[in-house]
Each structure stands twice: as structure tokens, then as C-alpha cells.
Chain A
Amino acid sequence: MTATNYFTRYRHIAPLAVFRIMFGAVLFISTCRFIAKGWVRDFYIKPAFHFPFIGFEWIHPHGAVFMYTLYALMALSALLVCLGLYYRIATCLFFLCFCYAELLDKTYYLNHYYLVTIFSFLLILVPANRYFSFDVLRRPSLRATRVPAWTILMLKYQLCIIYCCAGLSKLTSDWLLLAMPLRIWLPAKASIPLIGPLLNHVWVAYFFSWASALFDLSIAFILLNNSSRRFGYFLVIIFHVLTAILFQIGMFPWLMMSATLIFFSENFHIRVINILRKIFSIPSPSQHEERLPEFRPTIQRLMPGFLACYFLFQVLFPFRFLLYPGNLLWTEEGYRFSWRVMLMEKGGTSFFFVKNGATGRKFEVNNSDFLTPYQERMMETQPDMILQYAHMLKEFYQRQGIDSPEVTVQCYVALNGRRSRLFIDSSVNLAAEKETWFGHKPWILPFTNN
């Protein structure tokens, strides 16, 4: 490879350093917020049952001390990432702790947690600690001023994929032709200052639907282009601030607004660092010579192939839903890990029945005996969780002495303002159905649009 290659040529390291600082800071705040809101207790300590992801049924929460230690470690490692102190260990530690917590229970899956997982993984791969960091103070020999362009480009491309997929996922008739679910959500915000009164109008819901789809589809290209970048970032701020005001989405807007700074030029980032230097009165380093980080030859050789595979996966995985029959919003087969954000207003209620195969006695289950209200709500609209819950019930009642419990469910779901209808075939014994990695679930009743 030559030094003129677009991906391997050397660029200034400042964008990586700024990304590291911003991302670490947002994650530190978001982890502290998570702990302060009592969610560690509510999500991982209180519930008796959990909904692990397929393949990870072997991981479980381990009580209060363990979970709080985990989140404390997470907060600490996020802070270390921000400071650039013991960076390699900190990024790995954060990534592992975060993945572990996310894999414990599907109930709490959010696209922005997936985004955090991905970026904390990508941060492990790049030498973002080699400039303006405590690691450099600790070991000045680590200092580098230029890095191969791919280390910065991959962060940009990952963001491009996220926005493009989010945009493509909005190209549905519900979103574009019915302005659903914004039509339900916006009027509920009619009492906020300034824009509130506007939100009662249906055309505003249409405007927001179309504008946000257009934004998601085009923003990557606007940000990549030098001449339109400032305008693009202005749009990013407008868009994410609006979502922060209108919806309850926690740290996500802040995460995106800080992450998209990566698109700015290296001069911009150098300037940011100079300002930070001034604020914290950190003297500029005396040496001004250019220094390049050294990569191990094996890493140099393997990285292009690895990144090619990684991005191929990132581009293809969100489209796996095409392989399933039926309406994606209804079945949610291939819904997660695909940047489908705020696409539906979906609610359900479920009545589970257990039948003792031996005696024929059938009784109803009180879901709140097993699940927290939050788990119950998420379970009631997601078929894979319904199946997991049915299996939990089967195992529970087997321990209670019922040899072959049959589990059926009457589950009603309403999607995007349509009347509720039966969601799951209520004659199917879910205790006998198996979960598969990517298999279609034939017992989800077809979605009929009335």
C-alpha cells in the first residue's frame, strides 16, 4: 500500500482525540445517570426473570453487589476513555461490561445502546489516546500526531450507515402516507412552549415524517461534503434537539451530536483541542515534529480484510428482514440491530394460559407474578419474548409438579393507531415451540390492514 492511498495516508490525529473525549464524557454521564435513576436495581436486580438474547442464555445478573460493581466499572472506564488514561484497558473494559449488561435482557434493548456497543468496539481499534491524553503524559513516547486515515474514516462511515439505514427504514406506508406514529405522538406534546400549538395539526406530523426521512437519508452525504458540512451539522443539531424535546430518548441526541463532530476538518478539531488546552491551562507540547504511531505488521495486514468484513456485515444485517414473510413492524422478525428508530406505536396485552396435560385443568397466569411491568409491556408485543416467557412458565410449572404444561396465549396488539387484533395463534402450545436463530415463527398471525 502506498502512502497516497485514501485509506492509509496519514491524517492529523486530533479528530480521534476529540471523538474519544466527547464519547467518553457522554458515556460517563449516561452511565452515572443510569445508576442515579435506579435502573440498575429496577432492571437487573429486582426482576426475577430475564429475557437474554439467543446464544447468551448462560449469562445472568449476579445480585446487587455484582451489578453495581459492573456499572461502577463501566462509569470509571468511560471516564478513563475520556481522559485517555490506560486507554486500551479502559476501552476493552467498557466494551465488555456494556455488552454483558446489554445481553442480559432484551427488554432494555435500545438502538442507541447498540450504537454505544459498536462505537466502543471501534474505539478499541484506534489509537485515540496518543494525543492530548493522560497516557501521553504518562508515557510521552506514545505521542503521535498523525494516524492512518482509516481510523477516522471508519467512524464516519459507521455513522453514515446508521443514518442511511434509519432513513431507509422510514420508507414505509405507515410513516410516509399515514404519518404514523408521529400523528399520535406529536399532539401529545402540544403544551410545550413555542412549537407546541403547531403540533396539533396533521400536516405537521406529515412534515416531520417526510423531513426526518429526508434528513436521515441525506445527512451522511451532506456531512461528507466539505462545502455543505457546516449546514449539515446545523441540521444535525436541529434534528436531534427536536427529538430530545419531543421524545423521551435520554442521552441519544447528545451521543449523536457529539459523534457527528467527527465529520469536521482536522483544523476544526485542532482548534477544539487548543481551546481545551486554554480552559484547563495545559501547556502545548514543546516538540512539534510529526510522529506516526506504529502498528504491528500483523495488524497492518489483517485490518483491511477485517474492516471490509465488518462493514459488509453492518450494511447487510439491517436488511435481513427482507428474508421473512409478513409485515416487519408487526412480526418484528429482523427488527433489532437495524437502526429502526421510533417507527411504531405498538401496544399489547396478553393472557397466558397453562394447561396441565395430565389433568386437563387449565388456568390463567398472572403475568405480574413473574415479570416487572416494563418487562411485561415489552414482552407483549415481541414474539421472541412471548416465546421465551412461555418457556419460563413451562419450566416454572414443571418444577411445581405439572409434567407437561401446555402454554397458550391470547395476545392482542395495536399497531400505529389501528384497532387491536389477535397477535399470536392462541391454539399453539408455545411450550413445544423452539426458538431458532433466524427462523420464521409461523405462529405469529398475519397482519391484516383494515
Chain B
Amino acid sequence: MIRKKILKTVTGIFVTAMILISCSKSGNKTNTGPPSGDTDTVLVNLGTNIIVPAYQQLASATASLDAAVTTFNAGPSLNTLNDLQTAFKNAYKAWAGCSEFEFGPATDLFLTTHFINSFPTDTVTIKNNVGGVTYAIDGIGNYAAQGFPALDYLIFAYGNDVTLARFTSDAKAAGAKAYMAVLSASIKTKAAGVVNAWSKTGGNYLTTFINGTGVDAGSSLSLLANAYIQDFDVNLQNFKIGIPIGMYGPSVLPIAPAKVEAYYSGLSVQLLVAQVQAYQKIYLGGLNEKVAASKVQNGSVSLDAAIQTELSTLLSKIQALPDPLSAGIQQNDPSIGDAYTEIRKTTVLLKVDMSSALGIKISFQDDDGD
């Protein structure tokens, strides 16, 4: 009967549709299966040639840092302190190339700005921990007493002579050594864990990353772009410059130079430069291709060219910042305001124009659209 036929056809189509959809949905999320359809060469390049090497760099630099801490603790001297400080600078700069990737293993294993780079560091808690108070390194309330800012405080805050004394003759020297060892070990473990999670022989997140094609919430491009823009917008714009120059809040002092990143070592500008270079590298690692493919124009030039120019301009403005940054802020150096304006322009280009051209939603919510 013809009616029966209609019904069968309709049911058939419905079921086929269901299967098609569930396939296409799961295709995005599976961890180990072969890539569905074409692989996205941009994801391959970003994962293989940019993200994994950045983490490897961080893992080796933090391992060296941990070794330098061990050497220093075994025999505190001006030499071992200098070596430790150098190792610290290298590791901190390596972090500037990784803070852009706060998704996947980094979030799972706490290799995040919250645990690795919360500044200004919580000196009260550090002193308590050094003094023998019981603590959990990643426990609530301890996040601002660890990571690079805590080490920055321990090995730079008092000048070399006093620092050496604090690790040798001071009553709490043993506690200081122990806490520093815990700090560097914690960063090292987290970095090594993330490298392992991305590696083919470990968690193989690289394959997950490469297979997570598309631009929906949860796709690799969406995760990366969101993390990248969040790092720029919040960590760089707000925390590293905006707050120290007094942009936020009615109650804070007009300026707060002590709130810059790496206040004690004065590495602020070097770290900013490293971070902006990382943004450039990531952008040119394939995001540029996708933006160029969208053919969006920015006046007479393409959006891609506009973003590349903007990132170069930003880099030159950051390189022109007074060193150390905190002193420049204290003296109201006009180049800081300049750089901040440039950061603003870049924020708009990345957050609005780039994400729009990529078709990515800037939000960390997995939502339905319509």
C-alpha cells in the first residue's frame, strides 16, 4: 500500500539522518579513530610544529630550573645563585610561549596561568610556608604563592647577598630551600605531564587536537583561538599592563607598579616581548592561512595583512618599553600608554575581526546557536 510506503520511507530517512548525525558528531570528538574526511593541515602544523615544541621547550627549561635549584640548595653561593637566576629566566620565558594554550592537558594538569603565573605573588603565604606552616601546593589559597612569581620573589626580592643569607644563615633557611625545591619541582612535573599528554606515546592529545576539526565549541580551532585571545585580552592586556598602570577599579591607586609581572627580577619587558613573539608565531603558524582564506578586507588591505602589521607594530612598541617596567610606570613613561593603546587595537583585531573571519565564537560556553 502506498501509505505504508510513505511511512517506511519517512522512517527510513529519519533513521538514516539520526545515524548520519551521530556519526558526524562523534567524528569530532573521538580520541583515537582515524581523522574523518580531510585532515586540517593548519591543525597539524600548529600542533606538531608550534604547540608541542613550545611545551618541550618549557619542560626542558623547567627541568634545568629544578636541577639548578637542587644544585643551589646543596651549596648556596653567588655562582649557584647566578646559575639559578639564569635558569629561572629561561624557564619563565619558555612559559611566555605556552600561556596561550590553556586548554586540554594544560587545564587538566594545572599548567595554567592561575597556578604557574599568578602575580603579584602572595608573599605572606610564601613566608608562612617557608616558616613551616602545612600547605598543599595546589590547594585552595596557595595558587598565588607558587609558580614563577613565587620563585621570582624568593631569588630576586632581596638582592644577591641577602638572598644568600636567607638560604644559609637564616633560621628559616632549611624551610626556604625546601619550599623552593617544591616550587620548581611542581612546575617541572606539570610541564613534563603536559608534554607526555600531547606525545604519541603518552596521552596522544596531539591526535585528538588534529582530529578536532571544524569551528564548533569544543573543536581544536575554537579551543586554541579562545585560549589565545583570552591570554591576550586578560593576561597581557589587563594583568600585565592595564592593572599596573591603574586602568581598573575605583579604589586602587592610580598606578600600581608592584603589580607588574616579574616585579622582583625586572624581567617584565623581556617576558612581554617573548609573549608577543609567541602570538606572532602562532598566528603565522596557520591562523593566517585561515584568515586569508576568508578574504575579509580591512579597507584596502586584507585582514590577514592588517593583523600581521598590527602584531609587528605591537612588538616594536613592546620592545620600546622602559626597562624595568615598574620603574617606567612609576615615572609615567608615555611609551607605556602608547603600548597599551596598541594592545587595545590588537585585542579588537584578534577578538572581533580574526574570530569573526574564522567563524569562531569567543566564549567558553558550549551552547546551541540558531
Contact = CB atoms under 8 A, between A and B. Distances in A.
B344 interface: yes
A37 interface: yes
The 10 closest A-B pairs by CB, nearest first: A250-B368, A191-B213, A374-B365, A188-B215, A347-B356, A377-B363, A420-B352, A110-B370, A414-B356, A241-B17
B40 A361 contact: no
A429 B185 CA distance: 52
B32 to A, nearest CB: 17
A419 B293 contact: no
B21 A244 contact: yes
A249 B10 contact: no
29 contacts: A110-B369, A110-B370, A112-B368, A188-B214, A188-B359, A191-B35, A191-B36, A191-B40, A191-B214, A192-B36, A192-B213, A192-B214, A193-B37, A197-B38, A248-B367, A250-B368, A252-B368, A257-B14, A257-B17, A268-B7, A271-B7, A341-B370, A347-B362, A351-B344, A363-B248, A365-B248, A368-B234, A373-B365, A417-B296
A57 interface: no
Nearest to B249: A363
Measured as residues with beta carbon below 8 angstroms from the partner, the interface class of chain A is 35 or more
B352 A188 contact: no
Contacts of A248: 216-217, 367-369
B49 interface: no
Contacts of B20: 241, 245
A111 interface: yes
Contacts of B6: 230, 264, 268
A271 B234 CA distance: 59
B186 interface: no
B247 A271 contact: no
Contacts of B299: 419, 450
A252 B367 CA distance: 13
B303 interface: yes
A271 B352 contact: no
Contacts of B359: 181, 184-185, 188, 345
A417 B294 contact: yes
B4 A271 contact: yes
A282 interface: no
Contacts of A184: 294, 356-359
Contacts of B14: 237, 257
Interface in B11-52: 13-14, 17, 20-21, 23-24, 27, 35-40
Nearest to A245: B24
Nearest to B39: A191
B353 to A, nearest CB: 5
B121 to A, nearest CB: 20
Contacts, number: 175
Contacts of B246: 363
A347 B247 CA distance: 24
A193 B352 contact: no
Contacts of A361: 250
Measured as residues with beta carbon below 8 angstroms from the partner, the interface class of chain B is 35 or more
Interface of B: 3-4, 6-7, 9-10, 13-14, 17, 20-21, 23-24, 27, 35-40, 213-217, 221, 233-234, 238, 242, 246-251, 293-299, 303, 306, 344, 347-349, 351-353, 355-359, 361-370
Interface of A: 37, 39, 42, 108, 110-112, 181, 183-185, 187-194, 196-197, 230, 233-234, 237, 241, 244-245, 247-252, 257, 261, 264, 267-268, 271-272, 275, 341-342, 345-349, 351, 354, 356, 361, 363-366, 368, 372-374, 376-377, 397, 400, 402, 412-414, 417-420, 450
Nearest to A402: B250
A397 B249 CA distance: 10
A292 to B, nearest CB: 25
Contacts of B295: 417
Contacts of A366: 238, 248-249
Contacts of A417: 294-296, 356-357
Contacts of A376: 363
Contacts of A237: 13-14, 17
